[in-house]
């Protein structure tokens, strides 16, 4: 299994509760997670933890991947 990383910067975010984090997406063809004709990959935040590298107030967010905007079809590399 290969792990991949995506970075999203949210400026002036004072609340890092999981319930307040929105899903987001990226073009999966660039990372070979989708074909060019159907390349959107949706990320659903599932866990928030303090960033051990940059420290407070930064956080790391673990996400699951999905192939549909409704977040019902897991991505093929979503094997957690």
pTM (2 d.p.)? 0.74
pLDDT band at residue 25 under the 50/70/90 scheme:
confident
> Which whole-number Å values give the CA distances from 38 to 14, 64, 66, in the listed order?
35, 18, 12
Fold of 18-66: Ubiquitin-like (UB roll) (3.10.20)
pLDDT digits (tens, 9 = 90+) for 34-52: 667 767 888 899 988 888 9
Query: What rounded mean pLDDT belongs to the chain?
Result: 81
Round to the nearest angstrom and report the end-to-end CA distance of the chain.
10
Which structure tokens are listed for 45? 């935040």
Enter the DSSP assignment of 17: -
Residue 70 has a pLDDT of 92
What pLDDT score does 61 carry? 87
């Amino acid at each position: 299994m290969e792990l991949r990383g995506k970075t999203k910067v949210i400026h002036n975010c004072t609340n890092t509760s999981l319930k307040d984090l929105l899903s987001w997406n990226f073009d999966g063809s660039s990372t070979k997670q989708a074909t060019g004709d159907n390349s959107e990959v949706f990320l659903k935040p599932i866990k928030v933890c303090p960033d051990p590298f940059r420290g407070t107030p930064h956080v790391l967010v673990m996400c699951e991947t999905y192939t549909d905007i409704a977040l019902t079809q897991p991505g093929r590399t979503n094997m957690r």
